[in-house]
């Protein structure tokens, strides 16, 4: 069996070789934490977003969509708490200039494993005894102050305590002892300026989440759509976080995409909707092919909860580099609407005509990352097996067992050999199919190699036009996973595919 990192290496190389994912600005050495999706990746990502939008928005009666701007009035981020509190604690190595997130050390110890992976885990275990104490102290202090992890480096005692730890701990990257700084709070928002003046009055931020665009538009949507509670507002869009340590391929990026729902309901119904959404979102991943035994729901412990959340659960996936968060589902109470009401002076309340009650709705938030979903689907899909080559001899093959709904290319059409009639029929079939599905035509090289290329791209079906087609107007349709080949008459191809592709 592959070691986890071998599997990641193979996946990363396949993604580059076949055009799923490239390093951003690669010809200039790349940019840490930024990635580009190539021709196959963009289709996969688009499928993920379209399926989410269909399942969360258009197929429901209680959901509407929104597309808010990325740069917003900076007051939004003051009200949301991001300007003051959206910080991670970072530790620097004075020797090798490595930079690490201190809260990951906290989790690593608590869960008995490293979230950073690699050499960091050596460091964690080397000082495990001492850190065990440290985490206990942190936990206690967090409990006492009702603070969330992201805020804890503002806490002076903790910083001091950590200094003792860091003096003895070797750097996880270069092993130098005593080279680590104390943790410092580092705000994750990208700052920029709006307009020609570059002074403090023009400071704005790239949004670190899409959620706030929804909250500030709550009244606009409510008033224009004549909605009744409970209802949700959904948004897909880019978010930016200046992560201290981008890592694990696209898992932790600095520019990424989110798919978020803010589901508004009466406070008395919030617990019920919270239960509903944690199950609905878990099932969504399973239905698209993630194995349920690789997924888990991890409830946040009371002291881990963000100050605004009443309850929160992470949907986690067993990535090759460790079990990590795909999506968070939180009961955010009326925190956000209340804060925006306070900071903007605008009324954010909801009036119920029937009960004559006026109140601030509670919000359940399923917040998912597009890139992390894509990565989980890619990890799950990567498979190696054996398949007969052109001479019928078994040969190792790599295939991406993507769910047909996610597959970038749904069907490929080949003439067996480059003969006029075969090419002509194959072109005709391709023309007919491409209006409905993403279909690909290929006539280059041996047919076995063409199959392999489609296996690596995750294409569920390949249609081959051969000698027999010229006689009886039938083609072979080959299944990517089972390798079974069905003989299907040309006028039944569309029916066959819609049956097997599920749309």
Q: State the residues that interact with ligand ATP by CB under 6 A.
A: 209, 241, 243, 252-253, 256, 258, 325-328, 367-369, 371-372
User: Least separation, in Å, of the C-beta of 33 and ligand ATP?
Assistant: 8
| Position with the least CB separation from ligand ATP | 369
Nearest-angstrom CA–CA distance, 97 and 94? 5
Nearest-angstrom CA–CA distance, 25 and 129? 43
For residue 9, the Cα-to-chain-centroid distance in whole angstroms is 19
Nearer residue to ligand ATP within complex by CB, 109 or 447: 109
User: Least separation, in Å, of the C-beta of 106 and ligand ATP?
Assistant: 12
Nearest-angstrom CA–CA distance, 337 and 356? 20
Residue with tokens 């990257």: 173
User: Least separation, in Å, of the C-beta of 291 and ligand ATP?
Assistant: 19
Nearer residue to ligand ATP within complex by CB, 258 or 447: 258
Write the DSSP assignment of 10-34 as a string of letters: HHHHHHHHHTSEEETTGGGT--TT-
User: Least separation, in Å, of the C-beta of 250 and ligand ATP?
Assistant: 7
Nearer residue to ligand ATP within complex by CB, 92 or 243: 243
Nearer residue to ligand ATP within complex by CB, 35 or 414: 35
Nearer residue to ligand ATP within complex by CB, 8 or 475: 8
User: Least separation, in Å, of the C-beta of 371 and ligand ATP?
Assistant: 5
Q: Is 86 exposed, middle or buried (0-12, 13-18, 19+ CB in 10 A)?
A: buried
Nearer residue to ligand ATP within complex by CB, 81 or 369: 369
User: Least separation, in Å, of the C-beta of 370 and ligand ATP?
Assistant: 8
User: Least separation, in Å, of the C-beta of 241 and ligand ATP?
Assistant: 5
Strand ranges (DSSP E) for 18-136? Answer: 21-23, 35-37, 63-65, 87-92, 99-101
The contacts of residue 242 (CB under 8 Å, 6+ apart) are 186, 187, 188, 189, 190, 254
What are the backbone angles phi and psi of residue 406, rounded to the nearest 5°? Answer: -95, -20
Retrieve residue 114's tokens.
């490293």
Nearer residue to ligand ATP within complex by CB, 92 or 327: 327
């Amino acid at each position: 069996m592959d070691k986890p990192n071998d599997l990641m290496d193979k996946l990363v190389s396949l993604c580059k070789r076949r055009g799923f994912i490239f390093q951003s600005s690669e010809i200039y050495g790349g940019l840490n934490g930024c990635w580009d999706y190539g021709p196959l990746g963009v289709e996969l990502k688009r499928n993920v977003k379209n399926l989410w939008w269909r399942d969360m928005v258009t197929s429901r009666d209680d959901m509407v969509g929104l597309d808010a701007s990325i740069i917003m009035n900076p007051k939004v981020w003051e009200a949301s708490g991001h300007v003051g509190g959206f910080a991670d604690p970072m530790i620097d190595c004075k020797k090798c200039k490595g930079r690490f997130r201190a809260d990951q050390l906290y989790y690593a110890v608590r869960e008995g494993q490293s979230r950073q992976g690699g050499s960091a885990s050596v460091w964690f275990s080397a000082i495990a005894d001492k850190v065990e104490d440290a985490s206990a102290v942190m936990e206690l202090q967090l409990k006492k102050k009702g603070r969330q992890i992201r805020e804890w480096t503002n806490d002076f005692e903790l910083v001091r305590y950590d200094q003792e730890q860091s003096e003895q701990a070797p750097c996880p990257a270069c092993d130098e002892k005593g080279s680590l700084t104390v943790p410092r709070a580092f705000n994750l928002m990208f700052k920029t300026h709006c307009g020609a003046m570059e002074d403090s009055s023009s400071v704005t931020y790239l949004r670190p989440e899409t959620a706030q665009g929804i909250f500030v538009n709550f009244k606009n949507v409510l008033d224009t759509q004549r909605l009744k509670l409970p209802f949700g507002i959904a948004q897909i869009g880019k978010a930016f976080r200046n992560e201290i340590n981008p890592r694990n391929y696209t898992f932790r990026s600095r520019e990424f995409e989110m798919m978020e729902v803010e589901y508004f309901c009466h406070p008395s119904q919030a617990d019920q909707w919270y239960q509903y959404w944690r199950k609905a979102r878990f099932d969504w991943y399973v239905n698209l092919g993630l194995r349920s035994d690789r997924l888990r729901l991890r409830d946040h412990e009371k002291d881990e909860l963000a100050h605004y959340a009443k309850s929160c659960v992470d949907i986690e996936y067993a990535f090759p580099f460790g079990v990590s968060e795909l999506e968070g589902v939180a009961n955010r109470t009326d925190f956000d609407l209340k804060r925006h009401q306070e900071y903007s002076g605008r009324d954010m309340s909801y009036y119920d005509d029937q009960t004559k009650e006026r109140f601030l709705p509670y919000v359940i938030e399923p917040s998912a990352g597009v890139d992390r979903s894509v990565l989980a689907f890619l990890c799950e899909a990567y498979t190696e097996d054996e398949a007969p080559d052109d001479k019928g001899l078994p040969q190792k093959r790599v295939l991406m067992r993507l769910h047909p709904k996610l597959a970038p290319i749904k069907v490929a059409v080949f003439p067996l050999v480059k003969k006029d009639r075969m090419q002509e029929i194959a072109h005709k079939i391709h023309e007919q199919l491409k209006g409905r599905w993403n279909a690909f035509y290929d006539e280059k090289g041996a047919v076995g190699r063409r199959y392999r290329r489609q296996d690596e791209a995750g294409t569920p079906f390949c249609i081959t036009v051969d000698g027999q087609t010229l006689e009886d107007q039938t083609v072979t349709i080959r299944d990517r996973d089972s390798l079974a080949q069905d003989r299907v008459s040309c006028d039944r191809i569309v029916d066959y595919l819609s049956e097997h592709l599920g749309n």
